[in-house]
Amino acid sequence: MPTYNRANVLSKSLDTCFAQTLPLNEYEVILVDNNSLDNTLDIAEIYQKKYSNFRYIKELKAGATHARHTGAKNAQSDILVFVDDDGLFNPSLLEEILKVYETNSSVVAVTGKIDLLWDAPKPDWIEPYEFMLAKLDYGNEIKFGYDLYLNGLLFSINKNIFENLKGFNPDYIGGYLIGDGDTGLVDKLHKNKYLIGYTPYALVQHMQSVAVHGSVKDLGRRFYNVGISSSYAIFRKNNFHFSYEIAKYLLKSGIFLIKKWVEMNLWKDDRKKYFSYMQRKGELRFFFYLFDESLKKEILSTDYTN
């Protein structure tokens, strides 16, 4: 569990980690503090005294990928379960994930159902966009597939496969959110045709604040970040070189950006056009980063392709 300045919800999340039906001596909880500035350490010390299967590690390099990789490196089990610090996990989550691995020996990764837990009535307009807040639902039956998606809120994977694929892709590079993180690892699973499992019996409630996560501004930020990570992915696909495909991609993004800007100014308060505009803006922003030679060098040196 990577964490950064989430002391206000961290205890709630950790409590559900230790309320599992799986015996405490059969799993460990590793909290990786990504250099928090709040009282995260004080909370960790409470759990260290209370639970022998709890470990606290500090990772100074910013980004969930660095924190997750530090946790994986220190993990003793051959099955990893990555979770976020604002999730509430049902008591049988770990047992249900293990059942999927045991049911089909070809499975190398497993996810579960992710619902959103709002702190107040959510705005009606946000429902079609809840997938951007990590909501995931493949139905009420266990499923297997080579194209299932997982996100960092609940991402279980065989440790050997995780290491062979070089883990999650970069996210923060040079102090900027640039890479494609957990999406990049999912792409590698798909590319290598690894079987993925899903169980609705491993359930996560993702804590959400209407004032923060239910705003147009915050969702626009998320679309912007998706645009950046999408450009990183296509640039990586082209071996970090400009090509005809990249040129077409840039031209298309630029045209869409102008088109959405014009549409927004003609039709006010159109959220869909605004989100599309922000995504295209993010796509172009990534390539502006490449004009910074030191940043470009770091981008080229942090590729986890496999």
**What does the pLDDT read at residue 268?**
64
Q: Region of 2 please: left (phi>0), alpha (psi -120 to 50) or beta.
A: beta
Q: To the nearest whole number, what is the mean pLDDT of the chain?
A: 95
> Positive or negative, the Cα torsion across 93, 94, 97, 99?
negative
Cα–Cα distance list, 269 to 221, 261, 264 (Å)? 16, 12, 7
Instruction: Mention every residue, 6+ apart, whose C-beta is less than 8 A from residue 231.
Output: 249, 253, 282, 283, 284, 285, 286, 287
**What does the pLDDT read at residue 261?**
84
How far apart CA 4 and CA 245 sit, in angstroms, is: 37
The kind and range of the H/E element at 226 are helix 216-237
Over 80: is that where the pLDDT of 201 sits?
yes
Within its chain, how far is the Cα of 93 from the centroid?
18
Over 80: is that where the pLDDT of 22 sits?
yes
**Residue 265's pLDDT band (cuts 50, 70, 90):** confident
Average pLDDT of the residues in 14-30: 98
Percent of the chain at pLDDT exceeding 70: 99
Angle at which helices 216-237 and 181-191 cross, to 10°: 40
pLDDT digits (tens, 9 = 90+) for 73-96: 999 999 999 999 999 999 999 999
**What does the pLDDT read at residue 38?**
95
**Residue 111's pLDDT band (cuts 50, 70, 90):** very high
Average pLDDT of the residues in 257-270: 78
7 and 43 Cβ atoms separated by less than 8 Å: yes
**What does the pLDDT read at residue 14?**
98
| Arch. (CATH architecture) of 2-213 | Alpha-Beta Complex (3.90)
How far apart CA 44 and CA 51 sit, in angstroms, is: 10
Enter the pTM of the model.
Answer: 0.93
Q: For residue 150, what is the DSSP state?
A: -
**What does the pLDDT read at residue 210?**
97
pLDDT digits (tens, 9 = 90+) for 117-176: 999 999 999 999 999 999 999 999 999 999 999 999 999 999 999 999 999 999 999 889
**What does the pLDDT read at residue 304?**
77
Phi and psi at residue 290, to the nearest 5°: -70, -10
Over 70: is that where the pLDDT of 16 sits?
yes
**What does the pLDDT read at residue 301?**
84
37 and 5 Cβ atoms separated by less than 8 Å: yes
Weakest-pLDDT range from 27-31, 156-160, 272-276: 272-276
